[in-house]
A and B are shown apart, each in its own frame.
Chain A
Amino acid sequence: MSAALVSSPHGSRPNRVDRVMQEVLLALVPGVLAMIWFFGWGVLINIALAVTVAVAAEAAVMGLRRRPIGPAVGDYSAVVTAVLFAISVPPTLPWWMTLLGMLFAIVLVKQLYGGIGYNPFNPAMAAYVFLLVSYPVAMTTWLAPDMLAEHAVSFTESLRLIFAGALPSGVEWDAISAATPLDEMRGKLDQGMLIAEIRLSPLWGDFGGRGWEWVANGFLLGGVYLLWRRIITWHIPVSMLAALAVAAGAFWLLDPTTHPFPAFHLFSGAAILGAFFIATDPVSACTTKTGQLIFGASIGLLVFVIRTWGGYPDAVAFAVLLMNIAAPTIDHYTQPRVFGHTGNRANP
């Protein structure tokens, strides 16, 4: 028997942070496999690199802070951050940018605020935005999906591309890269083209870009798995996707020639990934249920606004970071009525 008397409850507690994070990683697998299928080995190389840097940085900072390194690394939170970051950036991103991004995410955004549980911003998204505003060209140069590329980039070619910046011999950037569906749509709309004309391009599939929509389906599958395993609740993903669909739907109804069908918004860019894996990051999201609905819906609206009128083609990272700022305030004003109390509780 233990010497110290410990307060109840006494039984085993199956829920644990590392298991939660492992489930999240497992749920990412279908989407990541789809990405590797369509965009090549660069995705996997990025993930390996980001995970290595993130775990090393986490361990180093914990060591500097004279805190136990084992539990911090063993909770897999740095791994989740690294994977989310690595699948958000282009599969051709130079290695030092990934390094820089992960150091920014783990050291500045996470550990300087006190480590897991204390960071007000989503570390992966903060790092993504940091790189996007610093190196916009590298961060928006995407490979073409497998079926559209003139040259399939092999594993060694991907390694050379990432670590040496060298293109495969005899291949130009144009042969392997393509605009992302969101880029394509924005660019063509800005040129005054109509949706019907834009959709004639071979880039398009059923809802979004070819290849891209399958990646989104993969993440959707993972998201459903997280809901089923009760790792996340429906509140944030459903409210975010619903707000995005409603806003896009309203404008599409007003003018279908210059506004894409709502499903385009849902299955392009990071909407699905963001709804299930990024906006649901518990540390930086709202915790009350009403708050989560407001939080999710606001992200959905912001995504639509920034995509339609903003300066960047995709918006999930910006929208999530903006709402991270608002989360504590939303929580403060959406506290539930306590059992046995009448009316909403007074603001503390």
Chain B
Amino acid sequence: MAAIQSLLRRDRLWTFHGGIHVPDEKALSNGRAVEMMPLPERLVIPLQQHIGATARPVVNVGERILKGQLLAQAEGYVSACIHASSSGTLVAIEPHPVPHPSGLSALCAVIETDGEDTWCELPEPMTQYAQLDPSEIRERIRWAGVVGLGGASFPTSVKLNPGPDQRIRTLIINGAECEPYITCDDLLMRERAGDILAGARIMHHLLGGPRILIGIEDNKPEAFEAMRFALAETDMRSHTEIRSIPTLYPSGGEKQLIRILTGEEVPTHAIPARIGIVCQNVGSAAAVAEAVLEGRPLISRVVAVTGRAIAEPRNLEVRIGTPVSDLIAHCGGYRERPRKLVCGGPMMGFEIAHPEIPVTKPANCVLALTEAEAPDPGPALACIRCGRCAEVCPAKLLPQQLYWHARAKDLDRVQDYNLFDCIECGCCAQVCPSHIPLVQYYRYAKNEVWAREEEKRKAELARTRHEAKQTRLERQERERKARLRRKKESLEASPGKSQTDQDAKKAAIEAAKQRAAAKKAAAAKAEETDDA
């Protein structure tokens, strides 16, 4: 009986508030195997593809570069290394348009490829990693530049180092892939389930042996079966479970998936490690396996190139730095003129301004949407307070109130309504009958709050500086006065001595005058002689 109960408990799934069902559109691109994207002539590799500090370049312009060579070193703890994704010549390190919601440019290493694709010398595989010190393995993962490949791109080595005080009980491998259209994780699980599990096994070792839960949405039965099949071959069965979870956007959100699989809620403003959980994307797990078991850095990833405007949607294994326009061309170009080109999924991705921007580590999808798929929503109408937004919000916020206060620029009130618990999943905006761009308002409000805090910090700094200057000036003034006073006192104390001083000065002046007069007289005399 107890066994049955525990079995029931182990298989139990929880739910989160809200969420929405949207057509998943996965069938567009999940029909064929991942294809290797041919080598482009130029690779534009951004030096920041992760959350944290920009990596510091360690190569010189004009230098010959080999595939896998370190281009830029992680700078600081939260940062990631950047490697060359093919061999060739480094022709520039300069700003280029990068995948960014505002279409900004950032520093990139530009490599003209030589077509030979020659590997550099790689570090030794750590096949016996179980005997190694965890810090050594983490250092390898850090060297390999592995970041979260689900979209957030947080450095994986940092996430795998929760600190000595934090016991990790559960490692979650995120194979939910809840966003419509995106199929790169689906294909990765079907084709490289063994690598994903090998990566999970390494993480399991690094985190001190937690149980492993793998969550996959039930619209990916092939991936689920492939993972189960691969798990049966490993020694991880006793502490690993693969769970099929109901398809509901945004189940793949970190906090939502943790809730679904464990029933626990990550406290606000905290990371999952606080409650003993670490969550990693399936792609990151495979990258960890490559880094540790083969000594290969993260230089390519699977990208879903999809949307009804693409002639032949499919998944491509793409070298980091390949231009997005090349990917589209490789998939047969456009079937019809896209109305929107998006990096990422339709719910959380951002519009691409320049199709020549490069593929980066977190770029999981290139989405070309037709007029029918992404029609112009038209001008936003007034909010009719229907409350659909609150019904679907997975963070259980009140999106409508957040909207009112964000629109009124009432930054204190938006924070009272927990603006920073918003994960920007877009459910509210998706169901809004007035087509209000709610997420845009929240992003705007968040930026305003950050700007205000920065302003405050600067003002505080300026105030401290001003006060310090004021104190210094006052101190100098006091010291000057004290010096004068001391001088005056010393003068008054010995008037005799100063009298003799003055006599001596007078005498010196007198003597100088006499010398000058004598010189003049001599000069005049000389003149007379000349005239004669």
Contact = CB atoms under 8 A, between A and B. Distances in A.
Interface of A: 1-2, 5-13, 15-17, 19-20, 71, 75, 77, 114-118, 233, 282-283, 285, 287-288, 335-342, 345-346, 348
B340 A10 contact: yes
A5 B99 CA distance: 13
B339 interface: yes
Given A1-B338, A338-B395, A345 B418 contact: yes
Contacts of B346: 8-11
Contact of A336 (B350, B396, B440): B396
Contact of A11 (B386, B390, B430, B435): B430
B433 A16 contact: yes
A10 B369 contact: yes
B417 A348 contact: yes
Sorted nearest first, the 6 A-B pairs with minimum C-beta distance are: A348-B416, A117-B382, A7-B440, A9-B426, A282-B386, A340-B268
B101 interface: yes
A10 B351 contact: yes
B320 interface: no
16 contacts: A1-B340, A5-B102, A6-B437, A7-B440, A10-B346, A10-B349, A10-B351, A15-B433, A71-B381, A116-B382, A282-B385, A288-B387, A336-B398, A341-B421, A348-B416, A348-B417
A224 to B, nearest CB: 19
B432 interface: yes
A275 B400 CA distance: 24
Given A75-B381, A283-B384, A11 B398 contact: no
Given A17-B434, A71-B379, A287-B400, A9 B439 contact: yes
A9 B432 CA distance: 11
Contacts of B350: 5, 7-8
A262 B400 CA distance: 37
Interface in B336-392: 338-342, 344, 346-351, 353, 367, 369, 372-377, 379, 381-388, 390-391
Q: Secondary structure at chain B's binding surface: helix, strand, loop or mixed?
A: loop
Nearest to A20: B433
Contact of B381 (A5, A17, A285): A17
B433 A288 contact: no
B398 A5 contact: no
Contacts of A1: 338-341, 351
B445 to A, nearest CB: 12
A189 B331 CA distance: 80
Interface string B138-152: 000000000000000
Q: Secondary structure at chain A's binding surface: helix, strand, loop or mixed?
A: loop
Contacts of A118: 382
A7 B425 CA distance: 11
Nearest to B369: A10
Given A1-B338, A340-B421, A19 B433 contact: yes
Contact of A7 (B16, B383, B437): B437
Contacts of B351: 1-2, 5-6, 10
Nearest to B439: A7
Contacts of A10: 340, 342, 346-347, 349, 351, 367, 369, 374
B134 interface: no
Interface in B101-149: 101-103
A282 B384 contact: yes
A230 B530 CA distance: 123
B395 A339 contact: yes
A8 B439 contact: yes
B17 A339 contact: yes
Contacts of B435: 13, 16
A17 B443 CA distance: 24
Contacts of A346: 416
Given A6-B437, A16-B435, A337 B383 contact: no
Given A10-B347, A288-B398, 16 more contacts: A1-B339, A2-B351, A5-B103, A5-B351, A6-B437, A8-B349, A9-B348, A9-B429, A10-B340, A11-B430, A13-B431, A75-B381, A117-B382, A336-B17, A338-B418, A340-B255
Nearest to B426: A9
Given A19-B433, A287-B385, A7 B374 contact: no
A75 B434 CA distance: 10
B385 A13 contact: no
B246 interface: no
A337 B268 CA distance: 12
A336 B437 CA distance: 23
A341 B418 contact: yes
B22 interface: yes
B397 interface: yes
A282 B16 CA distance: 25
A339 B16 contact: yes
A15 B388 contact: yes
Contacts of A338: 268, 395-397, 418, 421
- For A283, A335, A337, A338, the residue with the greatest tally of chain B CB atoms inside 10 Å of its CB is A338
Contact of A117 (B342, B377, B384, B394): B384
Contact of A9 (B338, B347, B433): B347
Nearest to B427: A9
Contact of B432 (A15, A116, A342): A15
Contacts of B40: none
A297 to B, nearest CB: 17
A7 B265 CA distance: 28
A287 B339 contact: no
A187 to B, nearest CB: 39
A7 B440 CA distance: 5
Interface in B312-342: 338-342
- For A9, A115, A288, the residue with the greatest tally of chain B CB atoms inside 10 Å of its CB is A9
A277 B395 CA distance: 30
Nearest to B346: A11
Contacts of B391: 233
Contact of B396 (A17, A75, A339): A339
Interface string B13-49: 0001100001000000000000000000000000000
A15 B374 CA distance: 14
Interface string B439-456: 110010000000000000
Given A233-B391, A338-B418, A15 B431 contact: yes
Nearest to A292: B387
A117 to B, nearest CB: 4
Nearest to B400: A287
Contacts of B16: 339
B267 interface: yes
A116 B443 CA distance: 26
Nearest to A19: B433
B387 A12 contact: no
A6 B440 contact: yes
- For A13, A20, A114, the residue with the greatest tally of chain B CB atoms inside 10 Å of its CB is A13
B325 to A, nearest CB: 13
Contacts of A6: 351, 437, 440
B180 interface: yes
Contacts of B349: 8, 10
A5 B101 contact: yes
Given A17-B384, A288-B398, A8 B347 contact: yes
Contacts of B394: 339
B293 interface: no
B409 interface: no
B205 interface: no
Nearest to A342: B267
- For B377, B394, B439, the residue with the greatest tally of chain A CB atoms inside 10 Å of its CB is B377
A340 B398 contact: no
A243 B340 CA distance: 51
- For B16, B386, B416, B418, the residue with the greatest tally of chain A CB atoms inside 10 Å of its CB is B386
Contacts of B102: 5
